[in-house]
Amino acid sequence: MAGAAGKQVIIAQSLEEALAALANTGLNAIPVAGGTWVMRAPIRQEATAQLFVSLHAIEELKGIEVASEELVVGAMVSHRQLAIELSDMADLKAIRVAAEKSANPSVRNMATIGGNLCSTNFMSPDLVPALMVCDATIRVQSSGAKTEIPIENYIKTRLVRPNNELVTRIRLPRGSFCSTHQRLLMRKAGEYPVANLSMRLSIGGDGRIADPRIAVASVENQPRRWTGLEDALRGEVASKVKIKELAIDQVKEFTGRDGPDAPGWYRLRILPRLASDALADLTVN
Amino acid sequence: MKRHLNLNNAVMNLPRRDARDKLLGRTKYTIDAVGSGDLHAVLLRAEIPSAKIKKIDLSAARGMPGVKAVATYDDAPGLHGLGIADTPIFAKDVIRYHGEPIAAVAATTLAQAREAAKAIGVVLEEQGAVLTMSEALAGDAVLVHPDWADYGIIFEGAERQGNIAWEATVVRGDTDGAFSRSDVAIVEGCYSVGRQSHVSFEPRVALASYVDGRFHIQTSTQVPWTVRHVVARVLGVPDSHVRVTVPAVGGGFGLKFDCSLEPYAAVLARMTGRSVSISNTRQEEQMTCLCRENAEIRIRSAVTADGEIVGREATVLMDAGAYGGEQVFLSTMTAHTLGGNYKLGSIKLSSLVVYTNTPPNGAFRACNGVYNTFALEQHTDEICKIIGMDPIEFRRKNVIGKGDIGATGQIFEGDVLKPMLDTAIENYGAHENKTLPDGRLYGRSTTVGTWFIFVGPSSATINLNSDGSATLVTSGVEIGQGTMVQALPQIVAANLGIHPDDVIVKTADTDASGRDLGVGGGRTTVSVGAASEAACAEVRKKLIATASQLLQTKADNLFLSKGRVEMRGNPGSGMTIQAVIAQVEADFGPVSGSGSFTNPGILAEPGCAAGHFIDAIDMPVHAVHDCELAVDPETGHVEILSYRVVQDVGRALNPRAIHGQIQGGVVQGLGYALQEEITINENGAFDQEGFETYRIPTALDVLPIEFVLHEGAPSCGPLGVKGAGEIPILNVGAAVACAVANATGQPVHQLPLTPPRVLQVLDGKDAILNFPHISPVWKDNTIRFA
Amino acid sequence: MTIRLKINSEYLEYHGDPRVSLLEVLRETFRLTGSKSVCCEGFCGACTVHINGELVASCLKPVGVLEGMEITTIEGVGSIEKLNPIQQALEDHDVVQCGMCFPGMVMTFTSFLVSNPNPTRADIKAAMSGNICRCTGYERIVDALLSIQMNGEVT
């Protein structure tokens, strides 16, 4: 049967209340953020969960704190709010572009940063690779414990995280680097990217690249860093032509997945172009 | 007749009267009419492509909460179809496609019906399936219809055999001689296209009730009379026991040019004694769409050095899916499209409709004309490359004109295509090579196209009301194209000298109006319009006769204008139409008139066409499309830079409405050419199940289409109109393919040109397309001549 | 569980499964059929409503979270006597065809044009990325929207 007092939807007023409801192992309960993934369960031929635990009223999950060294974003912040708040930040531009360009206007109003992180079966997220290059730290809370997890580790473990745990806040360090996000669609808008790429780096006075970070999603089942290209770029002069050459060489790190949206070979074929477009965007500024 | 009125008054940008309610969300489409008292029905559909049905156990389902009836083949036996009666509404002993209905459940709620459908026990013995036409035509292929020879033939004359549901051929002249000439270049190519899905926003849906011993079906359809007939046939009742009514339809494009869900609702309504509603989910809608068929073409031509086409041979394989359906009829149209546009010294065409264990295909805006035009125009550009002739000059030299003979021997009436080509060049300029600053490849094409207006039976009645308004009763349906709310009231108003706002248009009701072939194929303005004009003529005769007596003047001196019957040369001297109506009514009774229309019947050359439903087209309609685009050689993306059209409209009755059809139709064509792809997996099911994976154009993918309307071509339509709704899509596949070929320097042999496919074109991989299962020897691809 | 919903300034009560989408509740429980169920996955925009002034795809919003929120559907926008400026422009330009996408278009642009009163063609198209139309080919809709002179609030 459904949750407390036969309910099928609970609007949690606090984290504790939400976690308690999710911890109830007698039930199939799920957290609901924007709802844009959960509400498509029937289309994925999945059964509807017995209990929806809505997070939209929990204060601690809302809002963005802006400080000079870091930004702290509540898990329930929507794509649209994120894009607005980050509009002048060159260091966090990857996140702003990902938030601004994904999906469509209505979905950007509804879909949250926490939801994007936690939709583990969604193979084409835009925010996730942007968070990866921006060195995000994910704060999670389960009954009694708060933990900070660097995003790399979070992504590696997110398929096996416990049910009674919620992402509460995402910390983003600020600095004198610049970042961007590129996405390739078949049409001009309104669909999931066939491949996307986020990039963050600094360019020294000598025109050489320092601390390059590149993350790719949609090419494989899970997003990840393009370590081969990062290593090849480090210390190189920033050049569109050069990065394309290096990228063509380093694409072998990926296994392109075949999907109804595109064949695997195509995703790999266009990755060097995404890398070069990203660098071009960063060097314009 | 025409002296009694000024038909130029018909031409105006009359706004549509149904826009306001649609903008307010007030319009009730059939999908909105499902009420609280109606039972809800769902279909249990097959999940594999080919199987024997060993057992269907309904006992558990029947006992479930809310269930009122479960129907299977035995409740609605019988086969229907076009040309061949091969289609049951429920699978009988055999599953032939993924998605085929096995049973239908009616219950108090949709959720209850779904649960009950899951509880139906079906025991299947999976069988071999043929999922491609190549597999279906192999010597040892599994037969989709082992009993094909026993099926009832509705239309005689075609060859059929095994998995070949229908063969249509054309033989005219000596192609063997043409190809063996020493002064010709022989150009050959193979082309392949995938399916296109309509994605009408309102899904297929029907509401059925059984009242006073008759069925009343309210449905989202383009063909109320077809629905009436097929429902009657599968339910085993006389046609007159079925009434079909149709409110506003939320998009058709040809998907609804067939009977669809109505028989299921009807049989359940009879079984339960209740009204029953049924609709497809979006997933069902996509996965059992009656698509524009996938097809494979081999074509070759013998052309002299100065560009004369002395011989052409082609074979087209049309995938029917599991049942013959529309493709049986459409095999006729190869001759008028792939065999069209140009003067030919000799021609042989073979169109084979092939059964496969896949969802049945159907009709979609300009049907096989779209891919035949793609293959023909790309083939034409390849010919031009080989003989070294400019593509526009070649077309100017060869397009059919007045007195020229078509593929089936019909003689064309006017010079239309050449003047249209000249208009295109005049307005849009000659082709020039351009270099784009961003490194993308520039391409341009000019293509021509011929389609037809699907004339055929229509009827209309006009009732004149005492207030001077007129009620027009037809079986026409408003699917969004505007004909029922613009062109028809305009035609009637001009014929009666009243304002279109005073023409009431009754929504389709088969109890109220006479038979009609349906809405689609550009026919509504022409056929329903012509029938309406004939009805107006009867009414006008009655009015003028009475007015002539009242005004003591000869009938020839009278005309209808601005709501009055006026005397020539004596303005203001006549009388109001209301006064005349009152007198006619007093003398003879209420004023009404009826009219009918059907194919005028153009002659073809006897003996050259076999298996054709239409030997010669009564009303050809033509287009010239000019497309400029840019190809990104790294990603394969194609951006249309300009798209310009010259369209043969006969007479532009409502230019603004035609603009809407051109903009919308070309955009659907761009989707077909560039983005919309359906792939079928090893389970015989579509991989693309909804809006996420089946990509139709968004606002950012389109551009304003420029156009010039070509008027004055011969037309038997009212006021000389031709239907304008279908032709905009005809050339788009061709235009984009030819422009991409121009940009890349490589031939294009497949659509859609998605970015990955464009990269394959650039890599030179598209040109090597060859079909081992279509012989280069033409007659080996026929039953009749092999 | 009873949920009190404020829809077009009216309070309506819903007693069914709260996990069901707002779209389903609007159409089936309250017979507000102006919002259309077309794609059921948030791509087409035909189900667009306003919730607390924001555009929402009602097919993706579970009704159980909506207590206390202001919901506006197409039925709450304009009237037969007086269309709102977006509806009026679309009518004046005679752009409607089958009509199924238009409630969603009206909802999107009623919201968008209030906060963006002088958009470019590109701005309008970007705002339209979540409203798909199969009939019109879009450009005439954009022309109509560009012709609107926004004077303050739109109701």
Asked if the model's pLDDT at residue B306 lies above 50, the reply is yes
pLDDT in tens, B404-441: 999 999 999 999 999 999 999 999 999 999 999 999 99
pLDDT in tens, B537-565: 999 999 999 999 999 999 999 999 999 99
Q: Which residues of C touch B202 (CB under 8 A)?
A: 36, 98, 100
A35 vs C: CB within 8 A: yes
Tell me what the pLDDT averaged over chain C comes to.
95
Lookup: tokens for A97: 């572009």
Asked if B697 and B705 touch (Cβ cutoff 8 Å), the reply is no
- For testing the chain C interface, which of A1, A11, A39, A53 should be mutated: the one with the most C CBs within 10 Å? A39
Asked if the model's pLDDT at residue C93 lies above 60, the reply is yes
- Residue B1, pLDDT score: 42
B506-510 mean pLDDT: 96
pLDDT in tens, C7-41: 999 999 999 999 999 999 999 999 999 999 999 99
Asked if the model's pLDDT at residue C106 lies above 50, the reply is yes
Lookup: tokens for B216: 């009343």
C20 vs B: CB within 8 A: no
Whole-Å CA distances, B236 to B43, B219, B510, C103 = 21, 20, 19, 42
How near does any CA of chain C get to the CA of A227, in Å? 34
What are the two backbone dihedrals, phi and then psi, of residue B156, each rounded to the nearest 5 degrees? -80, 160
Q: Which residues of C touch B665 (CB under 8 A)?
A: 137
Asked if the model's pLDDT at residue C66 lies above 80, the reply is yes
Give long-range contacts, CB 8 A cutoff, 24+ apart: B171-174: B171/B347, B171/B348, B171/B608, B171/B785, B172/B346, B172/B347, B172/B348, B172/B407, B172/B408, B172/B409, B172/B605, B172/B608, B173/B311, B173/B344, B173/B345, B173/B346, B173/B347, B174/B311, B174/B346
Q: Which amino acid is at B455?
A: V
Question: In angstroms, rounded to a whole number, what is the distance separating the alpha carbons of residues B325 and B686?
Answer: 19
Contacts of B176 (CB under 8 A, 6+ apart): none
Scan for tokens 């499902």, then name that residue.
B34
How near does any CA of chain C get to the CA of B202, in Å? 7
Q: Which residues of B touch C136 (CB under 8 A)?
A: 660, 663-664, 667
Classify residue B542 by its DSSP letter: H
Closest-approach residue (CA) in chain C for B485: C97
Q: Does domain C85-146 have CATH number 1.10.150.120?
A: yes
Asked if the model's pLDDT at residue B6 lies above 80, the reply is no
- How many helices (DSSP H) and strands (DSSP E) are in chain A? 10, 12
Contacts of B355 (CB under 8 A, 6+ apart): B130, B136, B144, B145, B163, B164, B165, B320, B321, B322, B323, B324
Q: Which fold has domain B295-454+604-781?
A: Aldehyde Oxidoreductase; domain 4 (3.30.365)
Kindly report the pTM of this predicted structure. 0.97
- Residue C144, pLDDT score: 97
Closest-approach residue (CA) in chain C for B667: C137
Classify residue A276 by its DSSP letter: H
A11 vs C: CB within 8 A: yes
Q: Which residues of C touch B697 (CB under 8 A)?
A: 137-138
Counting as contact any 3 or more CB pairs under 8 A, the partners of C are: A, B
Tell me which residue in C77, C97, C128 faces B480 most closely, judged by beta carbons: C97
pLDDT in tens, B676-707: 999 999 999 999 999 999 999 999 999 999 99
End-to-end CA distance of chain B: give it in Å, rounded: 54
Q: Which residues of C touch A189 (CB under 8 A)?
A: 126, 129
B259-279 mean pLDDT: 97
- Residue B737, pLDDT score: 98
> Which ranges in chain B are annotated with CATH 3.30.365.10?
2-27+456-597, 295-454+604-781
ipTM surpassing 0.95? yes
Asked if the model's pLDDT at residue B599 lies above 90, the reply is no
Q: Does domain C3-76 have CATH number 3.40.50.720?
A: no
In total, chain C counts a number of residues equal to 155
How near does any CA of chain B get to the CA of C9, in Å? 17
- Residue B3, pLDDT score: 55
Using alpha carbons only, how large is chain A's radius of gyration in Å?
A: 19
B447-471 mean pLDDT: 95
**What CATH number should be reported for the domain whose range is B2-27+456-597?**
3.30.365.10
* B518 CB-side CA count, 13 A: 22
In total, chain A counts a number of residues equal to 285
Asked if the model's pLDDT at residue B175 lies above 50, the reply is yes
How near does any CA of chain A get to the CA of B277, in Å? 21
Residue-wise DSSP of B64-127: STTEEEEE-GGGS---B-SSEE-B-SS--SEE-STT-EEEEEEESSHHHHHHHHHT-EEEEEE-
Count CB pairs under 8 A between chains A and B. 44
pLDDT in tens, B319-376: 999 999 999 999 999 999 999 999 999 999 999 999 999 999 999 999 999 999 999 9
Question: In angstroms, rounded to a whole number, what is the distance separating the alpha carbons of residues B425 and B491?
Answer: 33
Question: In angstroms, rounded to a whole number, what is the distance separating the alpha carbons of residues B676 and A251?
Answer: 28
**Nearest Cα residue to B347 out of B614, B604, B618:** B604
Chain C residues interacting with chain A (CB cutoff of 8 angstroms): 1, 17-19, 21, 40-43, 45, 48, 54-57, 59-62, 64-65, 67, 108, 112, 126-127, 129-130, 132
**Which sequence spans correspond to the domains of chain C?**
3-76, 85-146
Q: Which domains does chain A have, with CATH numbers?
A: 4-54 (3.30.43), 60-173 (3.30.465.10), 189-284 (3.30.390.50)
Tell me which residue in A35, A103, A105 faces C62 most closely, judged by beta carbons: A35
pLDDT along chain A (285 residues), means of 10: 66 95 86 95 91 96 95 98 96 98 96 95 96 98 92 93 93 96 96 97 93 98 97 95 97 96 97 98 85
Pairwise CB contact (< 8 Å): C129 & A189: yes
Pairwise CB contact (< 8 Å): A190 & C129: yes
B609-631 mean pLDDT: 93
Lowest mean pLDDT among B89-93, B117-121, B151-155: B151-155
- Residue B417, pLDDT score: 97
- Residue B4, pLDDT score: 56
Closest-approach residue (CA) in chain C for A187: C129
How, if at all, do strands B470-473 and B503-506 pair? parallel
How near does any CA of chain C get to the CA of B345, in Å? 40
- Residue C127, pLDDT score: 98
How, if at all, do strands B94-95 and B51-57 pair? antiparallel
Tell me what the pLDDT averaged over chain B comes to.
95
Residue-wise DSSP of C69-93: -EEE-GGGS--SS---HHHHHHHHT
Tell me which residue in A11, A106, A191 faces C57 most closely, judged by beta carbons: A106
A105 vs B: CB within 8 A: no
Identify the band that residue C155 occupies on the pLDDT scale cut at 50, 70 and 90.
Answer: very low
Question: In angstroms, rounded to a whole number, what is the distance separating the alpha carbons of residues B636 and B410?
Answer: 43
How near does any CA of chain B get to the CA of C48, in Å? 12
Collapsing DSSP to helix, strand or coil, C101 comes out as coil
Pairwise CB contact (< 8 Å): A106 & C41: no
Pairwise CB contact (< 8 Å): C55 & A8: no
- Residue B5, pLDDT score: 61
A144 vs B: CB within 8 A: no
Tell me which residue in B19, B202, B481 faces C94 most closely, judged by beta carbons: B19
Question: In angstroms, rounded to a whole number, what is the distance separating the alpha carbons of residues B474 and B506?
Answer: 7
Lookup: tokens for B324: 């013959």
Question: In angstroms, rounded to a whole number, what is the distance separating the alpha carbons of residues B236 and B41?
Answer: 21
Asked if the model's pLDDT at residue B454 lies above 90, the reply is no
Tell me which residue in A43, A48, A189 faces C41 most closely, judged by beta carbons: A43
Collapsing DSSP to helix, strand or coil, B516 comes out as coil
Counting as contact any 3 or more CB pairs under 8 A, the partners of B are: A, C
Domain B33-128+204-279 -> CATH class: alpha beta
Pairwise CB contact (< 8 Å): B25 & C90: no
Asked if B474 and B548 touch (Cβ cutoff 8 Å), the reply is no
B172-179 mean pLDDT: 97
**Nearest Cα residue to B490 out of B19, B3, B17, B23:** B17
Going through B562-637 in order, the beta strands assigned E by DSSP cover 564-567, 570-576, 592-597, 609-610, 620-631
Burial of B768 by CB count in 10 Å (0-12 exposed, 13-18 middle, 19+ buried)?
exposed
